[in-house]
Amino acid sequence: MKKIEILFTLMIAPLSVWASGGEVPLMQVDLAHDAGTRKQGAEVVLTVCTGCHNLKYIKYRDLQAVGFSQQEIDDLRGAAEMTAPIMSLSPPDMLKDTYGVVPPDLSLIAKARAGKGRYVYTLFNNFYMRADGNVDNHLFPGIRMPDVLGVAAMGEGPDKKAFQESMKKVASFLEWASDPNAEERESLGFYVLIYLIIFTLMLGVMKRRIWADVH
Protein backbone atom coordinates (compact mmCIF):
# COMPACT_ATOMS: atom_id res chain seq x y z
CA MET A 1 0.00 0.00 0.00
CA LYS A 2 2.88 2.30 0.87
CA LYS A 3 4.50 1.61 -2.48
CA ILE A 4 1.36 2.31 -4.43
CA GLU A 5 0.99 5.60 -2.61
CA ILE A 6 4.48 6.62 -3.56
CA LEU A 7 3.83 5.56 -7.10
CA PHE A 8 0.63 7.54 -7.31
CA THR A 9 2.25 10.58 -5.76
CA LEU A 10 4.86 10.38 -8.45
CA MET A 11 2.16 10.19 -11.05
CA ILE A 12 -0.06 12.98 -9.96
CA ALA A 13 1.92 15.06 -7.46
CA PRO A 14 0.32 18.49 -7.49
CA LEU A 15 3.18 20.94 -7.10
CA SER A 16 2.06 24.50 -7.23
CA VAL A 17 5.46 25.67 -8.41
CA TRP A 18 4.58 24.17 -11.74
CA ALA A 19 1.92 26.45 -13.05
CA SER A 20 -0.43 24.39 -15.13
CA GLY A 21 -2.76 27.30 -15.71
CA GLY A 22 -5.76 25.14 -14.90
CA GLU A 23 -7.84 27.77 -13.09
CA VAL A 24 -7.18 30.92 -15.07
CA PRO A 25 -8.23 30.63 -18.71
CA LEU A 26 -5.58 31.80 -21.14
CA MET A 27 -6.36 35.14 -22.79
CA GLN A 28 -7.31 35.17 -26.43
CA VAL A 29 -4.68 37.15 -28.27
CA ASP A 30 -3.54 37.36 -31.85
CA LEU A 31 0.22 37.34 -32.10
CA ALA A 32 1.85 38.86 -35.16
CA HIS A 33 4.48 36.69 -36.76
CA ASP A 34 6.71 39.04 -38.69
CA ALA A 35 10.35 39.86 -38.17
CA GLY A 36 9.56 43.48 -37.25
CA THR A 37 7.32 42.50 -34.33
CA ARG A 38 9.75 39.86 -33.19
CA LYS A 39 12.61 42.30 -33.26
CA GLN A 40 10.72 44.72 -31.03
CA GLY A 41 9.88 41.83 -28.69
CA ALA A 42 13.51 40.77 -28.71
CA GLU A 43 14.59 44.26 -27.71
CA VAL A 44 12.42 44.05 -24.58
CA VAL A 45 13.65 40.54 -23.79
CA LEU A 46 17.29 41.50 -24.28
CA THR A 47 17.08 44.63 -22.16
CA VAL A 48 14.76 43.42 -19.38
CA CYS A 49 14.44 39.61 -19.20
CA THR A 50 18.06 38.64 -19.80
CA GLY A 51 18.94 40.49 -16.64
CA CYS A 52 18.02 37.24 -14.88
CA HIS A 53 17.01 34.73 -17.56
CA ASN A 54 19.21 32.93 -20.04
CA LEU A 55 18.25 32.52 -23.67
CA LYS A 56 20.83 29.84 -24.19
CA TYR A 57 19.58 28.16 -27.35
CA ILE A 58 19.59 31.51 -29.15
CA LYS A 59 22.99 32.73 -30.23
CA TYR A 60 23.87 36.30 -31.13
CA ARG A 61 24.13 35.35 -34.78
CA ASP A 62 20.53 34.02 -34.66
CA LEU A 63 19.33 37.57 -34.04
CA GLN A 64 19.99 38.29 -37.71
CA ALA A 65 16.95 36.15 -38.46
CA VAL A 66 14.65 38.58 -36.62
CA GLY A 67 16.13 41.58 -38.40
CA PHE A 68 18.99 42.80 -36.22
CA SER A 69 21.80 44.39 -38.24
CA GLN A 70 25.42 43.39 -37.71
CA GLN A 71 26.06 46.73 -35.99
CA GLU A 72 23.14 46.25 -33.59
CA ILE A 73 24.34 42.76 -32.73
CA ASP A 74 27.89 44.00 -32.19
CA ASP A 75 26.55 46.60 -29.77
CA LEU A 76 24.56 43.96 -27.89
CA ARG A 77 27.23 41.30 -27.65
CA GLY A 78 30.17 43.44 -26.57
CA ALA A 79 33.14 41.10 -26.30
CA ALA A 80 31.06 37.93 -26.75
CA GLU A 81 31.47 35.92 -29.95
CA MET A 82 28.78 35.94 -32.62
CA THR A 83 28.38 32.22 -31.95
CA ALA A 84 27.99 32.64 -28.18
CA PRO A 85 24.63 31.82 -26.58
CA ILE A 86 22.74 34.72 -25.06
CA MET A 87 23.24 34.33 -21.31
CA SER A 88 22.17 36.38 -18.33
CA LEU A 89 24.86 38.51 -16.76
CA SER A 90 23.71 37.64 -13.23
CA PRO A 91 25.41 34.60 -11.74
CA PRO A 92 22.90 31.77 -11.16
CA ASP A 93 24.01 31.33 -7.52
CA MET A 94 23.18 34.92 -6.75
CA LEU A 95 19.77 34.58 -8.44
CA LYS A 96 19.07 31.44 -6.45
CA ASP A 97 19.95 33.24 -3.23
CA THR A 98 17.66 36.12 -4.13
CA TYR A 99 14.63 34.29 -5.54
CA GLY A 100 14.99 30.75 -4.21
CA VAL A 101 15.12 29.32 -7.74
CA VAL A 102 17.26 29.80 -10.81
CA PRO A 103 15.04 31.60 -13.31
CA PRO A 104 14.13 29.25 -16.17
CA ASP A 105 15.79 29.54 -19.55
CA LEU A 106 13.58 31.47 -21.95
CA SER A 107 14.56 29.98 -25.30
CA LEU A 108 12.09 27.09 -24.96
CA ILE A 109 9.65 28.62 -22.51
CA ALA A 110 6.84 29.18 -25.03
CA LYS A 111 6.87 25.55 -26.14
CA ALA A 112 7.14 24.34 -22.57
CA ARG A 113 3.77 25.84 -21.64
CA ALA A 114 0.39 24.80 -22.98
CA GLY A 115 -0.79 27.78 -25.03
CA LYS A 116 2.75 28.90 -25.95
CA GLY A 117 2.78 32.69 -26.52
CA ARG A 118 -0.71 33.03 -25.09
CA TYR A 119 0.56 31.63 -21.81
CA VAL A 120 3.35 34.22 -21.68
CA TYR A 121 0.92 37.02 -22.47
CA THR A 122 -1.62 35.83 -19.92
CA LEU A 123 1.03 35.43 -17.25
CA PHE A 124 2.12 39.05 -17.57
CA ASN A 125 -1.45 40.29 -17.47
CA ASN A 126 -2.16 38.41 -14.27
CA PHE A 127 0.06 40.10 -11.72
CA TYR A 128 -1.99 41.63 -8.91
CA MET A 129 -1.52 43.24 -5.52
CA ARG A 130 -2.45 40.94 -2.66
CA ALA A 131 -4.21 42.35 0.43
CA ASP A 132 -0.92 42.06 2.34
CA GLY A 133 0.72 44.36 -0.20
CA ASN A 134 2.77 41.64 -1.89
CA VAL A 135 2.56 40.97 -5.58
CA ASP A 136 1.26 37.61 -6.78
CA ASN A 137 0.02 36.10 -10.02
CA HIS A 138 -3.40 34.56 -10.74
CA LEU A 139 -2.06 32.22 -13.42
CA PHE A 140 0.99 31.18 -11.43
CA PRO A 141 0.24 31.56 -7.70
CA GLY A 142 3.40 31.90 -5.68
CA ILE A 143 5.47 33.00 -8.64
CA ARG A 144 8.98 33.97 -7.60
CA MET A 145 9.48 36.43 -10.41
CA PRO A 146 8.99 40.01 -9.27
CA ASP A 147 6.54 42.18 -11.16
CA VAL A 148 9.40 43.83 -13.03
CA LEU A 149 7.13 45.82 -15.28
CA GLY A 150 4.87 47.05 -12.48
CA VAL A 151 1.72 45.49 -13.89
CA ALA A 152 -0.03 45.08 -10.56
CA ALA A 153 0.05 48.80 -9.91
CA MET A 154 -0.68 49.81 -13.47
CA GLY A 155 -4.47 50.00 -13.47
CA GLU A 156 -6.41 50.42 -16.70
CA GLY A 157 -5.43 53.13 -19.08
CA PRO A 158 -2.96 54.07 -21.81
CA ASP A 159 -0.04 52.64 -19.85
CA LYS A 160 -1.69 49.24 -19.69
CA LYS A 161 -2.51 49.37 -23.41
CA ALA A 162 1.10 50.12 -24.29
CA PHE A 163 2.26 47.41 -21.91
CA GLN A 164 -0.06 44.86 -23.51
CA GLU A 165 1.12 45.76 -26.99
CA SER A 166 4.68 45.33 -25.88
CA MET A 167 3.90 41.97 -24.22
CA LYS A 168 2.32 40.69 -27.44
CA LYS A 169 5.63 41.38 -29.14
CA VAL A 170 7.54 39.63 -26.36
CA ALA A 171 5.24 36.61 -26.65
CA SER A 172 5.72 36.61 -30.40
CA PHE A 173 9.51 36.69 -30.04
CA LEU A 174 9.50 33.91 -27.45
CA GLU A 175 7.34 31.75 -29.70
CA TRP A 176 9.87 32.27 -32.46
CA ALA A 177 12.76 31.54 -30.11
CA SER A 178 11.19 28.23 -29.06
CA ASP A 179 10.68 27.12 -32.66
CA PRO A 180 12.80 29.18 -35.07
CA ASN A 181 12.22 26.83 -37.98
CA ALA A 182 8.42 27.05 -37.90
CA GLU A 183 8.22 29.19 -41.04
CA GLU A 184 10.58 27.04 -43.06
CA ARG A 185 8.66 23.98 -41.85
CA GLU A 186 5.26 25.31 -42.87
CA SER A 187 6.35 26.56 -46.26
CA LEU A 188 8.07 23.26 -47.01
CA GLY A 189 5.02 21.41 -45.69
CA PHE A 190 2.80 23.27 -48.12
CA TYR A 191 4.77 21.97 -51.11
CA VAL A 192 5.05 18.48 -49.64
CA LEU A 193 1.28 18.28 -49.23
CA ILE A 194 0.62 19.58 -52.76
CA TYR A 195 3.02 16.96 -54.10
CA LEU A 196 1.48 14.17 -52.03
CA ILE A 197 -2.05 15.06 -53.10
CA ILE A 198 -1.10 15.04 -56.79
CA PHE A 199 0.89 11.81 -56.47
CA THR A 200 -1.87 10.10 -54.49
CA LEU A 201 -4.43 11.10 -57.12
CA MET A 202 -2.20 9.62 -59.82
CA LEU A 203 -1.87 6.41 -57.82
CA GLY A 204 -5.64 6.38 -57.32
CA VAL A 205 -6.23 6.57 -61.08
CA MET A 206 -3.58 3.90 -61.67
CA LYS A 207 -5.19 1.63 -59.12
CA ARG A 208 -8.64 2.08 -60.71
CA ARG A 209 -7.30 1.28 -64.16
CA ILE A 210 -5.41 -1.78 -62.98
CA TRP A 211 -8.46 -3.01 -61.10
CA ALA A 212 -10.83 -2.27 -63.97
CA ASP A 213 -10.61 -5.82 -65.30
CA VAL A 214 -11.21 -7.40 -61.86
CA HIS A 215 -14.74 -6.16 -61.19
Rounded Cα–Cα distance for residues 104 and 196 (Å): 41
Buried b (16+ CB within 10 A) or exposed e, 60-91: bebbeebebeeeebeebbeeeeeeebbebebe
**4 vs 131 by CB, closer to another protein:** 4
SS3 85: strand
Minimum CB–partner distance for residue 153 and another protein (Å): 30
Judged by CB, which is closer to another protein: 151, or 176? 176
Which residues are bridge partners to 55 per DSSP?
86
Residue 150 Ramachandran class (φ > 0 left, ψ -120 to 50 alpha, else beta): left
Q: Considering beta carbons, is residue 29 or 82 the nearer one to another protein?
A: 82
Q: How far is the CB of 129 from another protein (least distance, A)?
A: 26
- For residue 149, the minimal CB distance to another protein (Å) is 24
Strand partners, 127: 137
Give the shortest CB-34-to-another protein separation in angstroms: 19
> Whose Cβ is closer to another protein: residue 47's or residue 195's?
195
Interface with another protein (CB under 8 A): 1, 3-4, 7-15, 17-18, 20, 57, 59, 61, 81-83, 104, 107-108, 111-114, 178, 180-181, 185-186, 188-190, 192-193, 195-200, 202-207, 209-214
